[in-house]
Amino acid sequence: MKDDRFAMVLRGLAKSFDGKVAVGGVDLDVPAGSFYGLLGPNGAGKTTTLSMAVGLLRPDHGQAWVLGHDIWADPIQAKRLFGVLPDGVRLFDRLSGAELLAYHGLLRGMDPTVVDQRAAELLDVLALADAGQTLVVDYSAGMKKKIGLACALLHAPRLLVLDEPFEAVDPVAAALIRDILQRYVAGGGTVIFSSHVMEVVERLCSHVAILAGGVIRRVGTLAEVRGERSLEDVFVEVVGGRTATGEELAWL
């Protein structure tokens, strides 16, 4: 599907685990240049959807195109064009941050001089330069998130697919990541990220999809999805949150 208007197109993506539906047929059009938030409660299917979209998990049904390339039919071309921060950040963690970035860059066939230059800049901007020779395995959860993001950015991709980029990072790091991503989108890049933090999505996103039970329940621009209400109100209504009556946990 070659359509320059969209950085990512998903059609009918579906996945079950042991007969239980995790994602039940997701269609999504991510406009080029958008800042796209994929919202959903725990277990909604966000990670499963993004993993199928970037070629990390084979769908039972459906197709995904990234920047015009079918991710499963043409994975090498597609994977050159985007950066991904996967769930749980499975990294080669017996390396220092600088070594990990060098390794990523070389795997991508980048010029070693460019890799060194960009790696130094990324470590500096993400406040990881001080970690020096510390191995990534010994990084804190927030530092791992940041080095994972640095790996995703290193080859200057046109699309970033980020699974929970703000999870486990402190407010200073979160603000930094927000700034970097906002500048990236202002420069013509596209970001799609998953989150359950309404405030971040409301502040950053041009477009939002709310996923619950493996199905997209609301989708559109932030203004369309939110209407006159807060995103949190819409989210709770869509997801069907329960409220405590005050009688539960009386023993506590």
Ligand X SMILES: Nc1ncnc2c1ncn2[C@@H]1O[C@H](COP(=O)(O)OP(=O)(O)OP(=O)(O)O)[C@@H](O)[C@H]1O
Span interacting with ligand X, options 29-37, 42-50, 74-82, 219-227, rule CB under 6 A: 42-50
Interface with ligand X (CB under 6 A), residue from 2, 4, 19, 42: 42
Q: Segment 160-199, which members bind ligand X (CB under 6 A)?
A: 196
The 3-class SS string of 38-62 reads EECCCCCCHHHHHHHHCCCCCCCEE
The answer to whether the CB of 26 falls within 8 A of the CB of 215 is yes
Distance CA 52, CA 34 (A): 20
Residues paired with 85 in a beta bridge: 162
Is 45 an interacting residue with respect to ligand X (CB under 6 A)?
yes
Interface with ligand X (CB under 6 A), residue from 25, 37, 40, 97: 40
Distance CA 38, CA 162 (A): 10
Span interacting with ligand X, options 28-36, 41-49, 115-123, 200-208, rule CB under 6 A: 41-49
Distance CA 84, CA 50 (A): 9
Measured from the CB atom, the residue of 40 and 157 that comes closer to ligand X is 40
Interface with ligand X (CB under 6 A), residue from 44, 152, 201, 205: 44
The strand pair at 6-17 and 20-31 is best described as antiparallel
The answer to whether the CB of 86 falls within 8 A of the CB of 51 is yes
Is 46 an interacting residue with respect to ligand X (CB under 6 A)?
yes
CB of 188 to ligand X, least distance (A): 28
Measured from the CB atom, the residue of 22 and 126 that comes closer to ligand X is 22
Interface with ligand X (CB under 6 A), residue from 43, 88, 240, 241: 43
Is 100 an interacting residue with respect to ligand X (CB under 6 A)?
no
The residues, ordered by sequence, that sit 6+ positions from 6 with a Cβ below 8 Å of its Cβ are 29, 30, 31, 32, 65
Span interacting with ligand X, options 44-52, 104-112, 147-155, 177-185, rule CB under 6 A: 44-52
CB of 21 to ligand X, least distance (A): 8
CB of 13 to ligand X, least distance (A): 11
Distance CA 20, CA 14 (A): 11
Per CB under 6 A, residues contacting ligand X are 17, 22, 40, 42-48, 196
